Amino acid sequence: MAERLGWATEQLAYNTGETAGGLLDAIGNATELIISIAAMKNGMLRVIHQSLLGSILSNMLLMLGFAFYSGGLVHPNKQQVFGKALMNVGVLFNTVMILQIPAVLHFSQSELHFGNSELVLSRFSSCVMLTAYVVYLFFQLTSQNSMYTPIKEEESNEESSDDENDDDEKVPLISKRESIIWLIVLTSWISILSDYLVNAIEGASVALNMPVAFISVILLPIVGNATEHAGAIRFAMEDKLDLSLEMAIGSSTQIAMFGIPFCVVFGWICGYPVDLNFQPFETATVFMTLIAVAFMLQEGNSNHYKGQMLLLCYLILAATFYVHRDPLSSVVPPVNNGVVEDNP
């Protein structure tokens, strides 16, 4: 269902033009958002935090690692290069820093109103981040210099560039009306399946003797992003590494700048205390991941060794979450006027 939803979104983007297509790109991670909303309805707020952060870890380490590794194996005698990826990594880095501020405020015990200041700050920060995401989309759609301009295209002449554009021109397979119908049907089915999925998390955790954090951070993102992972690997094997980077880093940026703030604002509207107070363990893993990926990308080239390092880092993180006990993994009731109701 996640694969078909991405396909329908892509077809609709082809039919609506570049500007509307860029706006539709915001719902590229709709599966994660639907799962987060289902978890919110069940009061499993930690699943929201962990699944969205897990998507960032999966994209930055697993997807990018497999892309580098497979591209290096297919082209062992050719150095694969890419364009200005560090700019988007910088945007993601700044966004993650903003996400950490409420957690720092809470754990430093410097809140003016303990328990409420971080919630108010999270909601304010989320509104600012959603505004920043609109600015980010506007910049991408209007900027003459793409963040992922391949080096080989920069060095090519105008004739070869025109030929490449003609070859890469994509034609929609279905009409705009059919795309919208598919989006409505698939979104409805994913919403129904997400309810069953979220309800099964705690039972699966007990039956398999597996932490909820491991299921939320590792298993859910791998399933939800499987098609994107396959696409990134295919592009790397075709020596189109810039497209692989755009899928990995671009998807992570969408989750950080749009997905997480959207869940906070949506929870605010529905009366759920969703905040940006990610626990120190989760924030530390994301922060270290961004630093590791930034160092891997600074040279502007890739090989299978870099891919292996990223994959091994993800394997260590997966093992760490498997032995990690989340003290806040519990169901949280909705709030009225910003005050959390007590469980009977």
Tell me the pLDDT tens digit for each residue of 119-137. 888 899 999 999 988 888 8
The per-residue DSSP string of 13-73 comes to HHHHHHHHHHHHGGGGGHHHHHHHHHHHHTT-HHHHHHHHHHHHHIIIIIIHHHHHHHHHH
In a domain? residue 166: no
In a domain? residue 165: no
Tally of domains within the chain: 1
In a domain? residue 311: yes
Task: Please provide the average confidence, as pLDDT, over all residues in the chain.
Answer: 78
298 burial type by CB count under 10 A (0-12 exposed, 13-18 middle, 19+ buried)? exposed
In a domain? residue 289: yes
pLDDT for the residue numbered 314: 94
In a domain? residue 169: no
| Domain extent for 290 | 2-156+175-325
In a domain? residue 319: yes
Condensed to tens digits (0 to 9), the pLDDT of residues 213-262 reads 899 899 888 877 777 788 788 888 888 888 888 888 888 888 888 889 99
Residue 22 has pLDDT above 80, yes or no: no
For 244, the enclosing helix (H) or strand (E) is helix 241-254
Residue 290 has pLDDT above 60, yes or no: yes
In a domain? residue 342: no
Residue 204 has pLDDT above 80, yes or no: yes
Condensed to tens digits (0 to 9), the pLDDT of residues 88-116 reads 777 888 888 888 888 777 777 777 776 67
pLDDT for the residue numbered 328: 64
Residue 87 has pLDDT above 90, yes or no: no
Q: Is the dihedral angle over the CA atoms 147, 153, 155, 156 positive or is it negative?
A: negative
Residue 44 pLDDT grade (very low, low, confident, very high; cuts 50, 70, 90)? confident
Residue 310 has pLDDT above 90, yes or no: yes
In a domain? residue 333: no
pTM, rounded to two decimals: 0.80
pLDDT for the residue numbered 343: 45
Which letter does DSSP use for residue 258 in this model? I
Backbone φ and ψ of 81, nearest 5°: -120, 160
Condensed to tens digits (0 to 9), the pLDDT of residues 324-336 reads 877 666 544 455 5
Residue 316 has pLDDT above 90, yes or no: yes
Condensed to tens digits (0 to 9), the pLDDT of residues 176-191 reads 888 888 888 888 888 8
CATH number of the domain where residue 37 is located:
1.20.1420.30
Condensed to tens digits (0 to 9), the pLDDT of residues 147-170 reads 444 444 444 444 444 444 444 456
